[in-house]
Amino acid sequence: MKLKIIDIIKNNSFYDSLKKGSLLFFATIIVNIINFISIPIFTSILSVSDYGIIEVTNNYIRLFLILFPLNTISSISYFWYRKDIDNSKLITSVFFISLISFSIISAVFYIFQHQIAEFFNIPLFAFQLIPPIIFFGIIFGIINAIFIYNSDVKLNALQQIFNTLLKVVASLLLIVLIFKDYKGRLIGEIVGYILLSVIFIKYLKDYIQFKLDLNYIIKIFTYSVSIILLSTSSFILNYFDTLMINNSLGNEKAGLYSYAYKISVIYFAFIQSFQVIFNVKYATFFHDNKTENILSELKSLLKIVVLISGLFILLSKELGIILSINPEYEAALIICPIIVLGYFFCFIYDLYNIPLFHSKRIRNITIIIFICGGLNILLNKYLIPIYDYKIASVNTLISYLVMAILGYLFCRFSTNFYIRIKTLIPTISIILFYTITFYLLENLSLGFIITIIIKLCILLISAIILFKNQIKNFINTNG
């Protein structure tokens, strides 16, 4: 029977893609398990305010990892496969520009550290740790790019796992034994990076030369700076709302919002791991004009997405309650389904982003991201002070929905292939049903056990309907 089940899984059109990306998918699972286990530990030790400081600081780090090195790491993907480019010179130039730029901007930051920390609304100590974390982040951003574009899946997977594991373990030890607050988590990032350097720094040394090529520096600098706005605009949609909440309402509200996002990001990580695998084939089939193959793969992917979305929309609140331990965090969990729904529409947009990107409609992609990023900022600016932090999840959902609609429109009228709305309507309808059901059950207040039973029954029925053909095949082969 076990062999027959495996055969049925192998007959799924998405199986081949999953097999090829299995190492990265496995790494994603491990990373999420580590993060998953760490959530109740951190929330039981840290106050909501400390949690907010950590998340806000990490969000600034994400932004500055683009700005401090002048976005040069993004140039690696652009130049790596060009026949006229020596990859050692490429990495050397990226490293040199990043190091010089980092040194200058860090000096300015420390000169005006009191004013900037006050503007960011984070403690001075947290602010002072940002440049060291960014320095290591730049180094490992380059190393990770080398692994990715060398197609070294094994090293890429190992780097992801060790990166997460070492930081979490170091942070926990520092919080429990020494600092007892946000300081331990941020210093743990640095300690984790130092330990990571011992393992992986040799892979960077192989690409570093002692001679610089001025032509490479000019090419990389020009390209990287020209797309800084494009790179930061995606940050605006994903993280800027937390920064605005922190500035408007304080660390505690930012901590509550961040916790709800942390639960929902687990969903997004799972969806992305499947989508990354799918995108490889999607791009290949798009170039080969094999549209039937794309749709076949997509239908299998959408079934998986529906089930994972249902699981997180219906059960994210219960999951958050179990993981939080500290009841102060539970107030934010009501917005988890909205955040998950927003990430789902981000997934839909990515389905249209592939044809746009490979049809070289970069201008269209830029327009979409700028419109939606600007919309998100405006909504948050005017609505957060009025409706509190929870409205930010609705603002982001609206922005992602507009992004998906614009992606469809631009793709339909400017590329040779686009995924038709009718292909996605069943999936969208089911996921909207999950969301409406969640809030209806919240209003009915049927009790924890009964609510869980109803939600699990809905998920079970969904799974049976979605995979009825596979179930029939399994029954027939055993009949």
Over the stretch 103-138, which tens digit does the pLDDT of each residue have? 999 999 999 999 999 999 999 999 999 999 999 999
Q: What is the pLDDT of residue 198?
A: 79
> Of 195, 191, 196, 174, which is closest to residue 183 (Cα–Cα)?
174
Sign of CA dihedral 160, 163, 166, 172: negative
Q: How confident is the model at residue 354 (pLDDT cuts 50, 70, 90)?
A: confident
Whole-angstrom distance, CA of residue 420 vs CA of residue 273: 23
Q: What is the pLDDT of residue 159?
A: 83
Q: What is the pLDDT of residue 289?
A: 64
Q: What is the pLDDT of residue 2?
A: 45
Mean pLDDT of the chain: 83
Whole-angstrom distance, CA of residue 430 vs CA of residue 86: 50
> If you ran DSSP here, which 8-state letter would residue 178 be given?
I
Q: What is the pLDDT of residue 134?
A: 93
Q: In the predicted model, is pLDDT for residue 33 greater than 60?
A: yes
Whole-angstrom distance, CA of residue 384 vs CA of residue 249: 8
- Look up the pTM and report it: 0.80
Those residues whose C-beta lies under 8 Å from the C-beta of residue 423, and which sit 6 or more positions away, are: 295, 298, 299
Per cent of the chain over pLDDT 90 is 21
Q: What is the pLDDT of residue 19?
A: 53
Q: What is the pLDDT of residue 474?
A: 64
* Residue 210 token pair: 């002692």
Q: How far is CA 434 from the centre of its chain?
A: 22
Q: In the predicted model, is pLDDT for residue 1 greater than 70?
A: no
Whole-angstrom CA distances from 445 to 338, 421, 438 are 19, 36, 11
Estimate the share of the chain in helix, then strand, then coil, as percent rounded to the nearest 5.
85, 0, 15
What is the arithmetic mean of pLDDT over 42-49?
Answer: 85
What is the arithmetic mean of pLDDT over 403-407?
Answer: 91
Cβ atoms of 68 and 138 within 8 Å: the answer is yes
Lowest mean pLDDT segment, chosen from 39-48, 267-276, 445-454: 267-276
Whole-angstrom distance, CA of residue 18 vs CA of residue 304: 12
Tokens 């999420």, located at residue: 32
Angle, nearest 10°, between helix axes 448-466 and 468-478? 70
Lowest mean pLDDT segment, chosen from 174-188, 257-271, 366-380, 397-411: 257-271
Q: What is the pLDDT of residue 412?
A: 84
Q: How confident is the model at residue 8 (pLDDT cuts 50, 70, 90)?
A: very low
Q: In the predicted model, is pLDDT for residue 368 greater than 50?
A: yes
Q: What is the pLDDT of residue 338?
A: 93
> If you ran DSSP here, which 8-state letter would residue 12 be given?
S
Q: In the predicted model, is pLDDT for residue 13 greater than 60?
A: no
What is the arithmetic mean of pLDDT over 330-359?
Answer: 85
Q: In the predicted model, is pLDDT for residue 21 greater than 80?
A: no
Apex CA 430: angle with CA 427 and CA 24, to 5°?
A: 55
Q: How confident is the model at residue 274 (pLDDT cuts 50, 70, 90)?
A: confident
Q: How confident is the model at residue 22 (pLDDT cuts 50, 70, 90)?
A: low
Q: What is the pLDDT of residue 9?
A: 47
Those residues whose C-beta lies under 8 Å from the C-beta of residue 320, and which sit 6 or more positions away, are: 259, 260, 263, 329, 330, 332, 333, 336
The secondary element (H helix, E strand) that includes residue 413 is: helix 391-414
Q: In the predicted model, is pLDDT for residue 209 greater than 90?
A: no
